[in-house]
C-alpha cells in the first residue's frame, strides 16, 4: 500500500481526497497496488467530513512518517508551502502541487532537490487546472522543438471578457458578476492584472526550453483597460478580445508576454469562453496542437493532481526527467516583439484619415456611428516601431490592443 498525505483541505485538497476515494480501484489498477490517504494537514478541524479521522495539525507528523511516500500540496501561496514542500523532498518523499506561485518562484530549486534525492516534484495542476499540458510537454512532445505556446490560462478573466463580448457588459459589471458567482476573489488583482497568467506562461516557457524563467521578466498587461466599446468594434469586425499568455521561441531568442489580444473567428482560441481554458502548442514537426477544458474547479484540478500521484507511485524511488535546469533564460524585450495593432482614435475619419495614413500607411479602418471616434488595424510591425508611430500621430489615441486578425 502506498500512503499519501494532503497538505491543505480547501477546495482542491478536498477534491483530491474525493478522487482518491471514488476512483481508488482505477488508481490501484494503474499503480499496481492500493493508494491510500493517511493524513490531511490543516489548521482547522472537519468533524463532519469523510477525512475527519485523518486530520492532523502538525507538519512534523508527515515529515517524519516513513510510511508517507507521496505528499500533495494544495495550501497555495509560498508560506508555509515552500518550506513544507522542501522539507518533504529532503526527507525523500515525492511531492505534487497545484500551486503555480510555488512552482514559478521555487520550481528550479525544488526540481533539483527531487533529482538529488531520486524522488519527484510534479505540478500538472499548476497550469490549466484539469487540462493535461505539463505532461504532454515532457512526454508526448518530448521530441519536438516547441516554437510557440499561446493560451487562455485564466478562467476568471476569460469569464469577464466573455460577458463583455456576449452580453455587452462593462468590465466593472462583469467583474462583479464573476465575484458574486465565486469565479473572482474579492481582491481580483492577481487575475485581472494578468499576474496569474504570467506565472503560468513562465512555467510553460521553462518546460518548453528546459531553462529557468523569472516570471518578473515577462511583460504583463491585464484586462482592466478593456471596455465595452472595444467589443462593439470587435463585433463589427467579427472578432473578440482574449487575455493571452504567449511564449515564442526562435532558437535562443524567446519572447514571452501577457496581454489582451483581438482575434478573429478563424483563430482556434476564439470559441474558448466563460471559465474554460485553451492552450495552443506549436512544434516544429507536429505543427499546432490544442488543449482545452476546465481551467479551474474542485474535481477537474484534483484529477490533474491525482494523475501526478499515479505517476509518482509508479516511480517511487526513481526521478522522472522533467522540468528545467538552473540556467536563467533571457526574455527578449517586449519592444522587439511583432504584432498587428487595433487602434482607436478620437475624431472623425474624414478629419483624421490623412494623419493616420501618414503615420501608418494603408490601414483597415472601422467606424462606429455616433461615437465621435474611429479605429484602424495596422500591418504587423515591431512594437518599438508601433510606439514610435503612435507618438508621432497627430491625434488622440483612445486605445490600442495587439491583434491577430
pLDDT over 90 (residue 185): no
User: pTM score, two decimals?
Assistant: 0.96
User: Domain ranges in the chain?
Assistant: 2-129+299-328, 142-294, 336-404
What does pLDDT average to over the chain?
96
For 211-264, what is each residue's pLDDT tens digit? 999 999 999 999 999 999 999 999 999 999 999 999 999 998 999 999 999 999
What SS3 class is residue 162?
Answer: helix
CA 392 vs. chain centroid, Å, equals 36
Q: Residues with catalytic annotation?
A: 200
Half-sphere exposure of 203 (CA within 13 A, CB side): 31
Q: Is the peptide bond before 132 cis (omega within 30 degrees of 0)?
A: no
Q: Given CATH 3.40.640.10, say whether it is the number of domain 2-129+299-328.
A: no
Superfamily of domain 142-294: Dihydrodipicolinate Reductase; domain 2 (3.30.360.10)
pLDDT over 90 (residue 396): yes
For 28-86, what is each residue's pLDDT tens digit? 999 999 999 999 999 999 999 999 999 999 999 999 999 999 999 999 999 999 999 99
What SS3 class is residue 322?
Answer: coil
Q: Which residue has the cell 508527515?
A: 62
- What pLDDT sits at residue 55? 98
- Share of residues in the chain with pLDDT > 70 (%): 100
Domains 2-129+299-328 and 142-294 fall in the same CATH topology: no
For 132-180, what is each residue's pLDDT tens digit? 999 999 999 999 999 999 999 999 999 999 999 999 999 999 999 999 9
The highest-level CATH class for domain 336-404 is alpha beta
| Torsional sign, CA 19, 22, 23, 25 | positive
For 317-333, what is each residue's pLDDT tens digit? 899 999 999 999 999 99
218 Cβ contact list (under 8 Å, min separation 6) = 198, 201, 202, 205, 256, 257, 258, 331
Amino acid at each position: 500500500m502506498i500512503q499519501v498525505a494532503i497538505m491543505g483541505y480547501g477546495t482542491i485538497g478536498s477534491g483530491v481526497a474525493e478522487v482518491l476515494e471514488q476512483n481508488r480501484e482505477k488508481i490501484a489498477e494503474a499503480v499496481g497496488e492500493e493508494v491510500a490517504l493517511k493524513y490531511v494537514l490543516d489548521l482547522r478541524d472537519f468533524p463532519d467530513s469523510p477525512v475527519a479521522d485523518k486530520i492532523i495539525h502538525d507538519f512534523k507528523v508527515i515529515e517524519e512518517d516513513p510510511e508517507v511516500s507521496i505528499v500533495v500540496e494544495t495550501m497555495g501561496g509560498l508560506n508555509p508551502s515552500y518550506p513544507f514542500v522542501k522539507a518533504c523532498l529532503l526527507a525523500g518523499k515525492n511531492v505534487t502541487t497545484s500551486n503555480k506561485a510555488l512552482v514559478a518562484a521555487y520550481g528550479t530549486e525544488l526540481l533539483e532537490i527531487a533529482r538529488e534525492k531520486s524522488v519527484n516534484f510534479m505540478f500538472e495542476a499548476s497550469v490549466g487546472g484539469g487540462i493535461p499540458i505539463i505532461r504532454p510537454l515532457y512526454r508526448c512532445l518530448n521530441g519536438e522543438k516547441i516554437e510557440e505556446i499561446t493560451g487562455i490560462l485564466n478562467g476568471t478573466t476569460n469569464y469577464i471578457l466573455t460577458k463583455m463580448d456576449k452580453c455587452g457588459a462593462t468590465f466593472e459589471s462583469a467583474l462583479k458578476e464573476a465575484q458574486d458567482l465565486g469565479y473572482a476573489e474579492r481582491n481580483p488583482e492577481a487575475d485581472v492584472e494578468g499576474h496569474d497568467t504570467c506565472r503560468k506562461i513562465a512555467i510553460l516557457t521553462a518546460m518548453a526550453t528546459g531553462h529557468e524563467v523569472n516570471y518578473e521578466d515577462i511583460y504583463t498587461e491585464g484586462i482592466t483597460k478593456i471596455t465595452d466599446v472595444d467589443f462593439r468594434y470587435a463585433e463589427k469586425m467579427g472578432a473578440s478580445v482574449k487575455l493571452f499568455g504567449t511564449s515564442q521561441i526562435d532558437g535562443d531568442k524567446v519572447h514571452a508576454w501577457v496581454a489582451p489580444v483581438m482575434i478573429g473567428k478563424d483563430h482556434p482560441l476564439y470559441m474558448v469562453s466563460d471559465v474554460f481554458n485553451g492552450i495552443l502548442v506549436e512544434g516544429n514537426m507536429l505543427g499546432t496542437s490544442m488543449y482545452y477544458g476546465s481551467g479551474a474547479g474542485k474535481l477537474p484540478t484534483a484529477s490533474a493532481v491525482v494523475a501526478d500521484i499515479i505517476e509518482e507511485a509508479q516511480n517511487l524511488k526513481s526521478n522522472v526527467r522533467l522540468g528545467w535546469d538552473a540556467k536563467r533564460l533571457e526574455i527578449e524585450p517586449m519592444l522587439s516583439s511583432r504584432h498587428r495593432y487595433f487602434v482607436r482614435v478620437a475624431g472623425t475619419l474624414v478629419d483624421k484619415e490623412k494623419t493616420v495614413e501618414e503615420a501608418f500607411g494603408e490601414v483597415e479602418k472601422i467606424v462606429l456611428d455616433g461615437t465621435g471616434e474611429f479605429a484602424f488595424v495596422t500591418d504587423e510591425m515591431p512594437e518599438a516601431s508601433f510606439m514610435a508611430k503612435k507618438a508621432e500621430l497627430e491625434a488622440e489615441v483612445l486605445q490600442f490592443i495587439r491583434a491577430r486578425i
